[in-house]
Structure 1
């Protein structure tokens, strides 16, 4: 299971990092230190070339790293892969294609700081999290364009989170939810 890193910017300008991994036993992401204390924990491995960390446990049933859809597309395997992807969207979990290392903001971050982060990181939007790291909304470049960056906080322009989707849900369910809600990203 690939270790993910979530970085969160707070209003005081500080960024904190938290490493998490999907726990098959609990069916949600947990912090790595919680996983290390579990009886099912085997160990960690590092791939220097890919710059990824993998956590291995008996519960996961697999000790092989996943190869994301993005990596396969980048390798030029797009046409046949996309056909297979469409055929199997009901059985592929969103964990196979989601971003693993996510940058988040808290709702009290200024819009000016948010704009700077989106531009410097080359991203179009971020999840908004509470102090415990729980998703409470999303905010995007489009939200900034509608409001401007002169004054205000993320809480003034974010789209509140009215739903969540577990990473073991299917890609077809995620895309149907996104189409229904008219959104472009899921936290």
Structure 2
């Protein structure tokens, strides 16, 4: 399945599970009803910031919007996923590429690999969600600056930063070289 079709299906499924109309999700996410409709029809290439707003409103992690159809199907999902089957998505605003590493079988942990272009910045206005979500970012190569709330860290190769997704977060590659990092997310119920 095409990644945009997968996002469209997943967004519709999550909205339907809450029993929300397009207007209700638009109000809760601060994303326009028309934009949500285009995304749900697979006719829009949403930015990471827009997807994060939708995920926050729905009370899920951004990574969960990329889950495959088999991860929510009636048949038991596989605990294995081949590298060729891992969903890849490129943010149209910054050009960063994310690859969901986790298999379809449910786990409280989700792994995502990100390739972040030089000089780019992405700011998430993350807020409280229905579930408590923690993440760690481990820089595999390159360097990143991360601001979590009011605090900024400069991360070099091998550095790791832990945070809770309950405040604004800014990712920035201040260098002239691409950065690559692993994000590990863990969700706990409130």
Say yes or no: TM over 0.5. no
The answer to which structure has the higher strand fraction is 2
TM-score, scaled relative to structure 2: 0.28
Q: Report the structure number with the largest CA radius of gyration.
A: 1
TM-score, scaled relative to structure 1: 0.28
